[in-house]
Chains A and B, each alone.
Chain A
Amino acid sequence: MRGIVAQGKSSGTAEAVPLSRTLKRLAPFVKPVLPRLIGGFFCALGAGIVALAIPQVLAKLVNDVLAVNGASAQVWYAVGIITLLGFVEALLIFLRRQFVLNPAAGVEMTMRVGFYKHLQRLPVAFHERWGSGQLLSRSMSDLSLLRRWLAFGAMMLIVDTVTVITGLALMFTHSWILGLLFLLGSIPIAIKAYHFRNDFRAASRLSQDQAGDLATAVEESVHGIRVIKSFGRGRDIYEGFNEQAKSLQETELSKARTLASFLLTVVAIPETILGIGLVIGIAQVSAGTLSVGSLVAFFAIAAVIAIPVEAMGMLLGMTLSTKTALERHFEVMDSINDITSPEAPVRPAQYSGAVQLDHVRFAYPDDAGRARPILAEINLQIRPGETMALVGITGSGKSTLLNLVPRLQDATAGTVKVHGVDVRDWDLDELRTEIAVAFEDTTLFSTSIRENVLMGAPGDLAAEQREALLAEALDVAQAHFAYQLADGVDTLIGEEGLSLSGGQRQRIALARAIAARPRVLVLDDPLSALDVRTEEAVTERLRSVLSGTTTLVVAHRPSTVVLADRVALLRDGRIDAVGSHANLLSTNEHYRYVIASLDENEPEIRSEVAR
């Protein structure tokens, strides 16, 4: 329970992708807003210049204008200039924000929505591997970091670089020796920066991954709250979480240490160099090879440069974190979606309702590449309109087989055909319109019962037709309880709404599958949470609804098998036998073992009861 995921993903792809290549991937998103970003950059630069200019202008106005020729007109003239400059500075700052923030927030949102869209289309197999907390942290904090960097970090990095270079050039004009000295000082900084980059990048990747894993831990602690509570394992779960939170803290602190040691270099080295420069400069002045004015100017420039040089440490750190955030983003965006519609989807000649599996194999490949075969060789034909039950022991691959029909998974080998067309040749949406599914774990969405049930219903129905469909589906699924809820069928359910019992959820999910009016219906043990009476009632209604709909239903009980025209027995990844319930019962021993509790156990029960 503790941070297993962390080990999985936090190891991180530490391989060095150059910053430029990562940033290049931003280009399509940034390109449309580039003019605004450049505009913002110039405003930032302009604001900086005005801010620096105001004190100079002030001194000049007072010393050269007011002191020499004091008249009220002169005073107003000076005040006018300063007021004007004051407005210009404020305006430029205002404009910078106006130029930059909106587009940066736009890029953030575009990428966030794109991320979500991509995730929705990635195959189920992907989602089984990735905790939603880890994905969430990539969608929220990573992208908001990018926004801040775009709006502030990137811009300031450029502004600061320009300032430093300009300052350096000015230094050279005053004294080339001192300028050269100062430049030499940047060598150790560059070396340090190189190491800093490596250390910080690794730490920042680790911390972002750990934060994601922490979110996954939170998510599990909430989704698994019933288990935790009934076993009284709150403390253990907390300790696991705490351990993870502490390692995140440790990573953050080590990040801070790395940054602190870099900043130490960035502050101490230039200033030390300046100290040496001071000695040399004074010596030069006393020797007459340098003017006092130049020396003062040199240090004045150095003082101006010191601020952006120091800020660059922080900005570099921010840039590296952003790079990591982008890598994490693109890592998901680059995941290959191998379940997509083909370029030229095929439409079936006839929507017959036939479902056919030929030589189907399925294996879950694990990370080491070893394959765990679930389905070895499946050949199965479900005739149009027929209801076929799928029977087999737990873990025999029944659910996996069902997943292949609406193409939630792809077969490793062989073909699955719906209406005679290979599912891989179908347009995905069309295929899934043909098929409705009720899963064994019932997921309902945060909306009304009505919306949930009519989720897959044909879109072109009139209001009354929709109502009729809703009523019928709820009736067949024996979900009449919906009408007794506070807001009837408009009661909100799901995550954000009323929590229903397992049996209630299952009935709503069943109603949802029925209301979709599919030609092919796939039901995974749809009655498992129902009591005998309800099950009986559902079965009775279901049978009439199912006539004409090709149905594949996983059954654990004889009571569900009753629905079926034929039964297919799954064993060791193969279809062991196909036939009617009665037929299989009398001819197949494994079938009797799987489905019939009574025959075999009757004497035993009798003896129990008698005891």
Chain B
Amino acid sequence: MSRPLGVANEDAVTLTGAERKEVRRRSFRLLAALALPQKKLFIQTIVLVLFTNAARVLLPILIALAIDWTLPQVRQGNWAALGLTGGAYIVCANLAGVLLSWYIKCAARISQAMLLDLRQKVFRHTQRLSLEFHESYTSGRIISRQTSDLETLRELLDQGVSELASSCVFIVFTLISIFALDWRSGVVVCIAVLPVAVLFHWYQSRSEVLYRESRVVSARVISTFVETMTGIRAVKAFRRERANDANYADIAGQYRDNSVRSFNLFGVLQPGLVLIGNLTVAALLAYGGFRIIDGTLAVGVMVAILLAAKRVFQPMDEIAMFYSSLQSATAALEKVSGLLEEEPTVLEPRSPRSIDRVRGELVFQDAVFGYGDGPVVMDRFDLKIEAGQTVAVVGQTGAGKSTLAKLIARFYDLRSGSLELDAVPISELSNIELRRHVVMVTQEAFLFSGTVAENIALGRPGASLEEIHDAARAVGAHEFILDLPDGYDTDVNKRGGRVSAGQRQLISFARAFLADPAVLILDEATSSLDIPSERAVQHGLQTLLGNRTALIIAHRLSTVQIADRVLVVHDGKIVEDGSPEELIAAEGRFAALHQAWLDSLV
């Protein structure tokens, strides 16, 4: 497969062999990439675990020593021996405590560092991805990737990778001691590895599918939840509550069923391992028992072997737990790594060029555009917008006005042909530079949680309060902002901070004012404004637009009043182009629209 799968098969639970192999591989690759930078900490933690265990192993040895050696010494009047043994015990005890607490801190550092790393990776990457991707990949999915999928990694890390290491060390040492006592019994224990392996394999193949399903279902639970909460007004107005209840209960039920099935699977693995362990001990007992009767095995050795064999299986529980978390995290990372595999369709240039003194001249040449692999939307057009020109784009809904705007804002790239800003192809400008020069204000005026001032300052971080106020004043938003409970410091998410759609548009206009770009694109940015506000904005625009290039898309021709030039777009083509008065005189589409608009006014 030349192209990575990305999020293409995200909802699939059963995968083809090749697909499965690929998603597993990318998932492990991501896990390795996250773990690698923490190499030193991992080693440190494992060393700590080993020493903690060593200190603890010493404690019972010291007790044995106290009884076998110190006691006779004390009986002979050597009290120093007692002090020595007691002292050694206390030192070891405290050492074990200190090492344990150190180990916990180290393990937390690893786990938190990896989580932060992944959080940053996913967040940065989703921000980098093009709008095209975001239009099909829902917010609910991204949120679920960033919350519940990450949670599984956290569970894996909390399960203790280093404890796994100590478990393995423990098993190996105990096994060696069995071999040392009696190699034949050692072989018997080793044979028991076979059913253990079979059991693990069985668990792995079953749980993989279940955990994958779990990620799909959990994303659905989250998406449903988020969609309901973001659209709560419509939910209430159309009385969706009961239907939603049923739907959500159904999905949450699927999620529970899936969880229960994976619990049950683990519920076989865990006692299964215990059973294998116990049966191994029984087998050893039988094997050893007859050898005792033969006289080829000593009773003491036999007891030691049996106890050691029972102990070998104790850490299996932890290993099983870890393995289960690993399966769950792998399934989650399959999805996360798929998201990370997605490449933005709009790429940053390798060697970005810059514009020294931006003027704002835009030139399309032989431009062809279509969304994704879809049909051509705008076929072969040339367009030159002079620096400082104010251009109104009119046409029916779906005619391609917004497409033109999105191309200039470089939300999409042309399929062929070129688009240049001041003779530099915009695809060769770095994102930062492009955004400094070209800003687009859309109809949906999104406000982020935070104060009104912060929302305006998004246009130019670091702007002074004075500049923020000026921007608001310029679009006629100053007055209503002052009327809010805390003025510019009003939190838009707090009670009392709610602003209307029109006010939101004014705030986002102020944002654009503050950004002060060379090219300003307004895509239906005044649709929710009343006429006086629109007038204020237009007035502000005229001062702002002075020597700036502007592309204004509006259904209402009132905006055209301030335009130097009008483009009429129809079916992806620019069918009329000229000054407003020229077009009115030409009696084409624009003239008809203009007449209709005039009629609509009174």
Q: Is the CB of A224 within 8 A of B222?
A: no
Interface centre among A87, A120, A399 (most CB of B within 10 A): A120
Q: Is the CB of A132 within 8 A of B491?
A: no
CB proximity of B61 to chain A, nearest CB, Å: 12
Q: Does B274 contact A (CB under 8 A)?
A: yes
Q: Does B473 contact A (CB under 8 A)?
A: no
Q: Given the complex of chains A and B, what is the CA–CA distance between A258 and B250 in angstroms?
A: 40
Q: Does B37 contact A (CB under 8 A)?
A: no
Complex contacts, B556 vs chain A, CB 8 Å: 532, 557
CB proximity of B372 to chain A, nearest CB, Å: 13
CB proximity of A340 to chain B, nearest CB, Å: 12
Which of B240, B274, B289, B498 touches A89 (beta carbons < 8 Å)?
Answer: B274
Q: Does B146 contact A (CB under 8 A)?
A: yes
Contact status of A408 and B237, CB under 8 A, knowing A55-B307, A132-B230: yes
Complex contacts, A78 vs chain B, CB 8 Å: 285, 289
Complex contacts, A528 vs chain B, CB 8 Å: 527-528
Q: Interface readout for A129-166 with B: 1 if CB under 8 Å, 0 if not?
A: 10111011101110010000000000000000000000
Q: Does A346 contact B (CB under 8 A)?
A: no
CB proximity of B184 to chain A, nearest CB, Å: 16
Q: Does B310 contact A (CB under 8 A)?
A: yes
Q: Given the complex of chains A and B, what is the CA–CA distance between A353 and B402 in angstroms?
A: 41
Contact status of A120 and B228, CB under 8 A, knowing A58-B310, A75-B293, A260-B102: yes
CB proximity of B275 to chain A, nearest CB, Å: 4
Q: Is the CB of B105 within 8 A of A257?
A: yes
Q: Is the CB of B101 within 8 A of A264?
A: yes
Which of B450, B493, B531 touches A556 (beta carbons < 8 Å)?
Answer: B531
Q: Is the CB of A86 within 8 A of B282?
A: yes
Q: Is the CB of A230 within 8 A of B409?
A: yes
Complex contacts, A376 vs chain B, CB 8 Å: none
CB proximity of B579 to chain A, nearest CB, Å: 9
CB proximity of A145 to chain B, nearest CB, Å: 10
Q: Does B330 contact A (CB under 8 A)?
A: no
Residue tally, chain B, CB below 8 Å to A: 190
Interface centre among B221, B230, B306, B600 (most CB of A within 10 A): B600
Q: Is the CB of A439 within 8 A of B449?
A: no
Interface residues of B in 92-131 (CB under 8 A from A): 92-94, 96-98, 100-102, 104-105, 107-109, 112-113, 115-116, 119-120, 123-124, 126-128, 131
Q: Is the CB of A432 within 8 A of B127?
A: no
Q: Is the CB of B495 within 8 A of A129?
A: yes
Contact status of A531 and B275, CB under 8 A, knowing A136-B147, A234-B128: no
Stretch from B20-28, B173-181, B185-193, B501-509 that touches the partner: B501-509
Stretch from A172-180, A381-389, A500-508 that touches the partner: A500-508
Q: Is the CB of B93 within 8 A of A272?
A: yes
Q: Does A227 contact B (CB under 8 A)?
A: yes
Which of A211, A227, A445 touches B458 (beta carbons < 8 Å)?
Answer: A227
Q: Is the CB of B143 within 8 A of A282?
A: no
* Chain B, residue nearest A310 (CB): B100
Complex contacts, B435 vs chain A, CB 8 Å: 229-233
Q: Interface readout for B382-424 with A: 1 if CB under 8 Å, 0 if not?
A: 0000000000001111100010000001010000000000000
Q: Is the CB of B127 within 8 A of A238?
A: yes
Q: Is the CB of B600 within 8 A of A535?
A: yes
Q: Given the complex of chains A and B, what is the CA–CA distance between A261 and B102 in angstroms?
A: 9
Q: Is the CB of B112 within 8 A of A253?
A: yes
Q: Does B358 contact A (CB under 8 A)?
A: no
Contact status of A218 and B241, CB under 8 A, knowing A132-B229, A596-B531: no
Q: Does B204 contact A (CB under 8 A)?
A: no
Q: Is the CB of A131 within 8 A of B271?
A: no
Q: Is the CB of B98 within 8 A of A432?
A: no
Q: Given the complex of chains A and B, what is the CA–CA distance between A443 and B233 in angstroms?
A: 8
Q: Is the CB of B502 within 8 A of A395?
A: yes
Q: Is the CB of A393 within 8 A of B108?
A: no
Q: Is the CB of B448 within 8 A of A224?
A: yes
* Chain A, residue nearest B232 (CB): A127
Q: Interface readout for B427-450 with A: 1 if CB under 8 Å, 0 if not?
A: 000011011100111111110111
Q: Does B40 contact A (CB under 8 A)?
A: no
Q: Is the CB of B252 within 8 A of A283?
A: no
Interface centre among A98, A106, A224, A481 (most CB of B within 10 A): A224
Q: Is the CB of B143 within 8 A of A218?
A: yes
Q: Is the CB of A593 within 8 A of B449?
A: no
Which of B71, B395, B527 touches A286 (beta carbons < 8 Å)?
Answer: B71
Q: Does A349 contact B (CB under 8 A)?
A: no
Complex contacts, B74 vs chain A, CB 8 Å: 282-283, 286
Q: Given the complex of chains A and B, what is the CA–CA distance between A256 and B158 in angstroms?
A: 11
Complex contacts, B444 vs chain A, CB 8 Å: 226, 441, 502
Complex contacts, B240 vs chain A, CB 8 Å: 445, 455
Which of B259, B275, B303, B597 touches A105 (beta carbons < 8 Å)?
Answer: B259
CB proximity of A50 to chain B, nearest CB, Å: 9
Q: Is the CB of B449 within 8 A of A1?
A: yes
Q: Is the CB of A268 within 8 A of B395?
A: no
Which of B96, B151, B562 touches A268 (beta carbons < 8 Å)?
Answer: B96
Interface centre among A214, A215, A230 (most CB of B within 10 A): A230
Q: Interface readout for B268-298 with A: 1 if CB under 8 Å, 0 if not?
A: 1011101101110110011001101100000
The DSSP consensus for interface residues of chain A is helix
Q: Given the complex of chains A and B, what is the CA–CA distance between A591 and B362 in angstroms?
A: 41
Q: Given the complex of chains A and B, what is the CA–CA distance between A450 and B450 in angstroms?
A: 38
* Chain B, residue nearest A151 (CB): B263
CB proximity of A499 to chain B, nearest CB, Å: 5
Q: Does A475 contact B (CB under 8 A)?
A: no
Q: Is the CB of A372 within 8 A of B249?
A: no
Q: Does A94 contact B (CB under 8 A)?
A: yes
Q: Given the complex of chains A and B, what is the CA–CA distance between A129 and B449 in angstroms?
A: 10
CB proximity of A479 to chain B, nearest CB, Å: 10
Q: Is the CB of A532 within 8 A of B557?
A: yes
* Chain B, residue nearest A54 (CB): B310
Q: Is the CB of A516 within 8 A of B238?
A: yes
Q: Is the CB of A267 within 8 A of B142?
A: no
Complex contacts, A370 vs chain B, CB 8 Å: 485, 496
Complex contacts, B278 vs chain A, CB 8 Å: 54, 82-83, 85-87, 89-90
Q: Given the complex of chains A and B, what is the CA–CA distance between A164 and B528 in angstroms?
A: 69
Q: Given the complex of chains A and B, what is the CA–CA distance between A176 and B249 in angstroms?
A: 57
* Chain B, residue nearest A101 (CB): B263
Q: Interface readout for A440-462 with B: 1 if CB under 8 Å, 0 if not?
A: 11011110000000011000000
Q: Is the CB of B226 within 8 A of A221?
A: no
Interface centre among B59, B228, B230, B555 (most CB of A within 10 A): B555
Q: Is the CB of B90 within 8 A of A272?
A: yes
* Chain A, residue nearest B596 (CB): A532
Q: Is the CB of B485 within 8 A of A531?
A: no
* Chain A, residue nearest B529 (CB): A394
Interface residues of A in 189-225 (CB under 8 A from B): 211, 214-216, 218-225
Complex contacts, A276 vs chain B, CB 8 Å: 86, 90
Q: Does B148 contact A (CB under 8 A)?
A: yes
Q: Is the CB of B600 within 8 A of A219?
A: no
Q: Given the complex of chains A and B, what is the CA–CA distance between A268 and B101 in angstroms?
A: 10
* Chain A, residue nearest B536 (CB): A394
Q: Is the CB of A534 within 8 A of B303?
A: no
Interface residues of A in 514-540 (CB under 8 A from B): 516, 525, 528-536
Q: Is the CB of B123 within 8 A of A533?
A: no
Q: Is the CB of B96 within 8 A of A271?
A: yes
Q: Does B468 contact A (CB under 8 A)?
A: no
Interface centre among B435, B500, B508, B561 (most CB of A within 10 A): B500
Q: Does A343 contact B (CB under 8 A)?
A: no
Complex contacts, B83 vs chain A, CB 8 Å: 279
List the 3 closest pairs (A to B, CB-CB), nearest first: A232-B435, A86-B278, A268-B97
What are 15 A-to-B residue pairs whose CB atoms are below 8 Å? A4-B491, A82-B282, A90-B272, A90-B274, A97-B264, A116-B252, A136-B225, A140-B151, A234-B128, A252-B112, A257-B108, A364-B496, A441-B444, A558-B601, A608-B562
With A67-B292, A529-B527, A598-B598 given, name 15 new contacts (CB 8 A). Answer: A70-B289, A74-B289, A79-B286, A79-B289, A86-B281, A101-B260, A105-B256, A113-B249, A215-B143, A257-B105, A272-B90, A395-B499, A443-B230, A455-B238, A504-B397
